[in-house]
A = this chain, B = another copy of it.
């Protein structure tokens, strides 16, 4: 696995996709999303359910329903999605798995790993969900290759 779990990866891809479609004024059904981000449909449904409960994505049932993002949601940082699935561990945890990371009792990787963590944190905090709509619509960025 990479840095993030598969669940979290699908979640990020799905949210970027929904953001793009929302920008275009469309709501997206699970099937459509799954196809465009290349994820298992039913598994994705579960993921979106969780994001919906967290209020990170909006949804409407029934015909013409689907998932979309309101203005507020489009400005939320990617970090909110990651936290939903991975918890705080990735932002604060020790790189070698010690029960907590501290300056007083550092592991051998502590100094280097702090920087890695900070870079990840900045990436996730500074990136908003709606940030790439333009590039995604123009096809300069991809979610399924």
Contacts and interface: CB of A to CB of B under 8 A. Distances in A.
Nearest to A5: B1
Contacts of A145: 98-100, 102, 105
A142 B2 contact: no
Interface stretch (A55-63, A67-75, A128-136): A128-136
Interface of A: 1-6, 9-10, 12-13, 16, 78, 86, 89-90, 93-100, 102, 105-110, 112-113, 115-116, 119-120, 122-123, 127, 131-132, 135-136, 141-145
A3 B12 CA distance: 17
Contact of A107 (B3, B90, B142): B142
10 contacts: A2-B94, A2-B97, A3-B3, A98-B143, A108-B131, A108-B136, A108-B143, A112-B123, A113-B123, A116-B123
Contacts of A95: 2-4
Given A2-B89, A119-B116, A106 B9 contact: no
A131 B112 CA distance: 13
A75 to B, nearest CB: 15
Given A10-B97, A95-B4, A96-B9, A141 B89 contact: no
